Chains A and B, each alone.
Chain A
Amino acid sequence: MPRRKKIEPGTNDKAVAGMRDSALEFLMAQYRDALQYTNELKRAIASFSGELPPDSRYRYASMTVGEAVVNFLDRVEKPHSIRQLISELESGGCTFGVIKSRDEIVRKAVMAFVRQNKLVWLDKEKTIVARPSWNAKKI
Chain B
Amino acid sequence: MSNERDVPLVIHDFHDLLSLLLRVRFPEADTMPYWSFLKLRNNILHNCDMVLLFLFEQYKLLPYRMDIHVVLNELRHDTLNVKKACGKEGSSIWRPGRRRNIKHLKALYEEMRLAAVLLCQGSNPELMDDVARAL
Q: Cβ of B114: which chain A residues have Cβ within 8 Å of it?
A: 100, 104-105, 108
Task: Kindly state the separation between the CA atoms of A111 and B122 in the bound complex, as whole angstroms.
Answer: 16
Selected interface stretch from B53-61, B66-74, B100-108: B66-74
**Taking the complex as formed, is A73 at the interface, i.e. its CB lies under 8 A from any CB of chain B?**
no
Q: Cβ of A66: which chain B residues have Cβ within 8 Å of it?
A: 67, 70-71, 118
Please judge, given known A-B contacts A105-B117, A108-B111, A112-B70, whether A100 and B132 are in contact too, CB under 8 Å: yes
Task: Evaluate contact between B74 and A99: CB separation under 8 angstroms.
Answer: no
Task: Kindly state the separation between the CA atoms of A61 and B113 in the bound complex, as whole angstroms.
Answer: 22
**Taking the complex as formed, is B129 at the interface, i.e. its CB lies under 8 A from any CB of chain A?**
yes
Main secondary structure of the interface of B (DSSP, over half): helix
Q: Cβ of B122: which chain A residues have Cβ within 8 Å of it?
A: 64-65, 67
Task: Evaluate contact between A64 and B132: CB separation under 8 angstroms.
Answer: no
Task: Kindly state the separation between the CA atoms of A96 and B67 in the bound complex, as whole angstroms.
Answer: 17
**CB interface residues, B 86-135, toward A, < 8 Å:** 111, 113-115, 117-118, 121-122, 125-126, 128-129, 132-133
- Chain A proximity of B16: nearest CB distance (Å): 15
Task: Evaluate contact between A115 and B74: CB separation under 8 angstroms.
Answer: yes
Q: Cβ of A113: which chain B residues have Cβ within 8 Å of it?
A: 70
**Taking the complex as formed, is A122 at the interface, i.e. its CB lies under 8 A from any CB of chain B?**
no
Please name the residue on chain A nearest to B67 by beta carbon: A67
Return the contact of A95 from the options B67, B70, B113, B125 (Cβ within 8 A): B125
Task: Evaluate contact between A112 and B73: CB separation under 8 angstroms.
Answer: yes
Q: Mark A71-96, 1 if CB is under 8 A from B, else 0.
A: 00000000000000000000000011
Main secondary structure of the interface of A (DSSP, over half): helix
- Chain A proximity of B132: nearest CB distance (Å): 4
Return the contact of A99 from the options B77, B118, B133 (Cβ within 8 A): B133
Task: Kindly state the separation between the CA atoms of A109 and B73 in the bound complex, as whole angstroms.
Answer: 12
**Taking the complex as formed, is A38 at the interface, i.e. its CB lies under 8 A from any CB of chain B?**
yes
Q: Cβ of A100: which chain B residues have Cβ within 8 Å of it?
A: 113-114, 117, 128, 132
**CB interface residues, A 81-139, toward B, < 8 Å:** 95-100, 104-105, 108-109, 111-113, 115-116, 118
| Contacts beyond the supplied A66-B118, A70-B67, A97-B117: 17 A-B pairs with Cβ under 8 Å | A64-B67, A64-B121, A65-B121, A65-B122, A66-B70, A66-B71, A97-B132, A99-B132, A100-B114, A100-B128, A100-B132, A108-B115, A115-B70, A115-B74, A116-B70, A116-B73, A118-B70
Q: List 5 A-B contacts (CB under 8 A).
A: A64-B67, A97-B121, A105-B114, A105-B117, A112-B73
